C-alpha cells in the first residue's frame, strides 16, 4: 500500500534521478535525509507480525512497545553513520525429502532499514 509519505519520498527520489540524468557531473553525497522518523515508522507498520525474531531476540511486538524511542535512536544512528546491521540468524527448515533448507532471519531493526532502502535502490 502506497501512503502519502511513501509517495512523497518516491517523488523526491524521482527528482534526484532526473537531476542525475540531466547532469552526470552532479554528485550526491547522501540520501540519509530521506530516512526520516515518519518514513521509518511507515516501513515498520508494513512488517509482518508474528514472525520469528532475529539474532537479538526482539520481536516486532516488543519493538513496537517503544516505537518512537526505537525509531528516533535508529534515525540518529543512520544519520551519524553509526548504524551497523546485526548478523542474520541462520535456521534450517526441514524439507519433505529429509534435507534442510537454510533460512536467514534478520533483526526487526534491520528489516525496517531494508524496507526503507528498497525504493532508494529501485529508482532509475
Over the stretch 48-82, which tens digit does the pLDDT of each residue have? 888 899 999 999 999 999 999 999 999 999 999 89
Q: Alpha helices of the chain — where are they, by DSSP H? A: 4-22, 37-45, 60-65, 67-79, 108-122
Would residue 66 count as lying in a domain? yes
pLDDT of residue 107: 97
> Low-confidence residues of the chain, pLDDT below 50?
1-2
Would residue 61 count as lying in a domain? yes
Q: Are 70 and 109 in contact (CB under 8 A)?
A: yes
DSSP for residue 32:
G
Question: How many CA atoms does the CB half-sphere of 59 hold within 13 Å?
Answer: 7
Would residue 22 count as lying in a domain? no
pLDDT of residue 118: 84
Would residue 38 count as lying in a domain? yes
Range of the domain at 74: 30-117
Using alpha carbons, select from 37, 19, 1 the residue that is nearest to residue 123.
19
Would residue 15 count as lying in a domain? no
Would residue 13 count as lying in a domain? no
Model confidence, pTM: 0.78
Would residue 12 count as lying in a domain? no
Number of domains in the chain: 1
Question: Three cell numbers at 101?
Answer: 533448507
Would residue 7 count as lying in a domain? no
Amino acid at each position: 500500500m502506497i501512503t502519502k509519505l511513501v509517495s512523497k519520498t518516491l517523488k523526491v527520489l524521482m527528482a534526484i534521478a532526473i537531476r542525475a540524468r540531466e547532469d552526470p557531473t552532479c554528485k550526491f553525497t547522501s540520501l540519509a535525509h530521506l530516512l526520516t522518523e515518519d518514513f521509518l515508522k511507515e516501513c515498520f507498520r508494513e512488517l509482518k507480525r508474528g514472525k520469528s525474531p532475529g539474532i537479538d531476540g526482539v520481536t516486532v511486538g516488543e519493538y513496537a512497545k517503544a516505537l518512537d524511542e526505537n525509531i528516533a535512536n535508529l534515525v540518529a544512528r543512520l544519520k551519524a553513520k553509526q548504524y551497523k546491521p546485526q548478523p542474520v540468524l541462520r535456521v534450517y527448515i526441514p524439507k519433505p525429502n529429509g534435507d534442510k533448507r537454510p533460512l536467514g532471519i534478520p533483526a526487526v531493526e534491520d528489516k525496517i532499514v531494508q524496507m526503507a532502502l528498497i525504493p532508494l535502490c529501485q529508482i532509475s
